[in-house]
Amino acid sequence: MAEEAGQQAAPAPQGLSADPAQAQVPAAGDKSTHTLQNPGDQKMIFKVKSSNNNEYRVNPVFGFVDEAGNTPLEVNRLAGAPKEDKLVVQFAPAPADASDAQAAFASVQPTGNVTINLSAT
């Protein structure tokens, strides 16, 4: 018997996903829009890290995704040499009283991350 009387199943894992999880953009520059999705029942906080800060701009870098909600993520590619890069979105449950994502992220330990692969051709 997997569960005994009085015991509850473990809660679903909390985390974010990105849709789409990859993007192909011209090396001459372009924009890609992604959606951070939170299927869980807890508000999440995130920070986006880039392998190439010279040719990519991300908005927002810090933010929140409400429980069972979505947040858009805009990625701008500036002109540069063709290259493979990635964004890593670190996330954690958001502190209950947090209103400033950048300040609040410094006080949490990331519990996971999601990678968005970027290909400039």
Q: Tell me, what's the pLDDT at 109?
A: 97
Q: Which residue has the tokens 């890069």?
A: 85
Q: Tell me, what's the pLDDT at 13?
A: 56
| Residue among 35, 43, 44 nearest 71 (CA) | 35
Cβ of 106: how many Cβ atoms within 10 Å? 9
| Residue among 5, 42, 34, 29 nearest 17 (CA) | 34
What's the CATH fold of domain 26-120? Answer: Immunoglobulin-like (2.60.40)
Q: What is the pLDDT along the chain (121 residues), one digit of tens a residue?
A: 444 444 554 454 579 999 999 999 999 999 999 999 999 999 999 999 999 999 999 999 999 999 999 999 999 999 999 999 999 999 999 999 999 999 999 999 999 999 999 999 9
Q: Tell me, what's the pLDDT at 10?
A: 45
